[in-house]
Structure 1
Amino acid sequence: MTSFDYTLTRTVDAPVGKVWAAWTVAEDYGKWASAEDVVLDVRPGGAWSAVMVIPGGARFPLSGAYTEVVPDKRLVMGMNVPGRDEPVLMTLELEAEGDRTRVTLSQTFDSAEERDQAEQGSNMLLDGLTGFLAAA
């Protein structure tokens, strides 16, 4: 079966610990990810949920669970998708580069359309993260 994946990499002007906190502290995550009602239980098997607010005000409830947690290095999150038996996994990898951090997001999908939609959403997430860290 053919798979469709993407990998996005950005280097942000913040130390790795601050970037990790942005992804794992609910209050911080809500600020940069345009999310409300954020709950993050960051441990393998721990659940997460959030209501994403997109431009125009539409709200989308999302939920899932963490499958891998390596503090300050790697976070693998599953997202529940209606109509799918298995969650869609997103991998976040962090690599310290002095006072900066290289952030890599990757996902794999069954169709190019799903991949393209997710890649667009992940670019929006990285834009929000970059802005949040620059203002902090």
Structure 2
Amino acid sequence: MSSERTPADDGLSYTLTRVLDVPVAQVWRAWTTPEQYARWAYAVPGSVEMDVRPGGAWKATMAAPDGQQFPLTGSYLEAEENRRLVIGMDVPGRPEPSTMALELAELGAPDGDRTQVVLSQTCDTVAERQAAEEGSTMLLDSLTTHLTGQPAG
């Protein structure tokens, strides 16, 4: 496994890249199956609903380490199985959703399948970008542990 962070010149965007030693279909299922997503994405069990298709809705209640819960909603803007998922996240007080893109690429390897995961987002402020990047890093760390049984790093 490997990890990489690419800051954007404008300070409002970020891109995180991971290479996981699992097949691309396994990564896709982790992101698009409610039961699996709840296991690794800090979601309250039973709170995740997903209609994974362009225009389909999603919702989840996230649980913070301190016990606080945060309901989230949104829709899928793009969904190309095993390749690309663009997720719109509703933000109170904002007319347009915040979007996050997930790109998956299968990498061949002599010892089995590997997947490159690229997660990117553009935010409205530097503070928002910092918080989103921190949250996305935590998600990718948890996804890595969930899929490989090994901590990220």
For normalisation by structure 2, the TM-score amounts to 0.85
Count of residue pairs the alignment pairs up = 135
How many angstroms does 1:58 deviate by? Answer: 1.2
Consecutive unaligned residues in structure 2, runs of 5 or more: 1-9
Instruction: Return the structure number with greater strand share.
Output: 1
Matches within 5 A, 1:32-111: 32-36=40-44, 37-98=47-108, 99-111=113-125
Secondary structure at 1:84's aligned position in 2?
A: coil
Matches within 5 A, 1:11-26: 11-26=19-34
RMSD (CA atoms): 1.3
Secondary structure at 2:59's aligned position in 1?
A: strand
- Deviations 1:11-69 (Å, cap 9, x if unpaired)? 11110000000000000000010102000100000000000111111111000000001
Pick the aligned partner of 1:8 from 16, 21, 28: 16
Measured in 1, the distance between the counterparts of 2:16 and 2:148 equals 19
For normalisation by structure 1, the TM-score amounts to 0.96
How many angstroms does 1:109 deviate by? Answer: 1.1
Q: Which amino acid aligns with 1:45?
A: G
Secondary structure at 1:82's aligned position in 2?
A: coil
- Deviations 1:60-107 (Å, cap 9, x if unpaired)? 100000000110000000000011110000000001112110101000
How many angstroms does 1:3 deviate by? Answer: 6.8
- Structure with max Cα Rg: 2
Instruction: Report the counterpart of residue 133 of structure 1 in structure 2.
Output: 147
Secondary structure at 1:35's aligned position in 2?
A: coil
Q: Percent identity?
A: 56
Consecutive unaligned residues in structure 1, runs of 5 or more: none
Runs of 4+ in 1 over 6 A off after TM superposition: none
